[in-house]
Amino acid sequence: MPPSLHPIVDRYINFLLVEKGLASATIESYSSDLARFSDFLEKHKISDIVKTDTAVILKYLIHLRDEDLEARSRARHLVTLRGFFRFLVQEKILKQNPAKIIDLPKSGLKLPDVLSADEIQVILNTPDPKALKGARDAAMLELLYAAGLRVSELINVKVKDVNLEVGFVRTMGKGSKERVVPIGSHAREKITDFIKHARPRLLKQHVSQFLFVARAGKPMTRQGFWKLIKQYAVKAGIDKEITPHTFRHSFASHLLEGGADLRSVQMMLGHVDISTTQIYTHVAREHLKRMHEKYHPRG
């Protein structure tokens, strides 16, 4: 890494860590990307970051392609550089972001698999609400879709985190970032039923702060819930590769398709950078395109 870049990169990484509160894995990924970019600058004898323009970044992306980096990985590098140069503009080291006008490589961001609204309804209706575990699973699935939670957030929801009267759930996301997400009447109804009837019997005299419990009052595990998702997908007759994250993708896509603005969806998902949320606009755009083709006289 050129010596002049060391302090700037250190400042940026510290900014991500302290100000943005990003997870350590994300910080490591950004650091690795910037180290690779710095090596490229050094090999091309660019010692001053101010001399880095759009042409240099394009040349770097071509270099990554020539090294057989797939489009998705090249897109991630570009996203890292966009954030880095945006920081340099904020710090008045640069006047403009040279990476801003560069488009992501085609197929650079894999569109997430989503379920249709009908498929969501089928799978949400699959658990038997009269059975103890069925009532729990129905409440978990409803909350997963209603709030767009990550599976790690779902299994760590505590009883005190859910306000059924007002209708919201409080959760702790990546980088210990807390957010509050509204939940609808369906989720509130299933959770209320679970708390009143099934949860006390699942606890069997044990005490737990966690909302969703397994045997002996222990919280659900990621692996355990993952298996449940697979089982209910099979029972529902849905022939798609479904994971807990599929519900989060569907949550975001359905909101955008329904007219929600990107910033609101970003807040509900708990994304630090709106560029992470923007991937869902591609899904929403495809939906609008299909609607146009289906209903427009000249579609």
Please identify which of the residues 74, 136, 150, 199 carries the catalytic annotation.
150
Please identify which of the residues 63, 179, 245, 282 carries the catalytic annotation.
245
**Would you call 188 a catalytic residue per the annotation?**
no
Give the tokens for residue 287. 């939906």
Q: Are 200 and 136 in contact, with CB atoms under 8 Å apart?
A: no
Residue 283 CB contacts under 8 Å (≥ 6 apart), including other chains: 111, 112, 114, 249, 253, 256, 257
**Would you call 280 a catalytic residue per the annotation?**
yes
Region class of 216: left (phi > 0), else alpha (psi between -120 and 50), else beta = left
Please identify which of the residues 86, 170, 174, 186 carries the catalytic annotation.
174
**Would you call 248 a catalytic residue per the annotation?**
yes
Please identify which of the residues 30, 145, 232, 280 carries the catalytic annotation.
280
Give the tokens for residue 244. 């807990």
The DSSP output letter for 95 is S
**Would you call 179 a catalytic residue per the annotation?**
no
Please identify which of the residues 74, 199, 248, 254 carries the catalytic annotation.
248
**Would you call 295 a catalytic residue per the annotation?**
no
Give the tokens for residue 170. 């409080």
Please identify which of the residues 76, 249, 254, 271 carries the catalytic annotation.
271
Compute how many other C-beta atoms are within 10 angstroms of the C-beta atom of residue 19. Answer: 10
CA–CA separation, 57 vs 297, rounded Å? 44
**Would you call 174 a catalytic residue per the annotation?**
yes
- Active-site residues, by number, are 150, 174, 245, 248, 271, 280
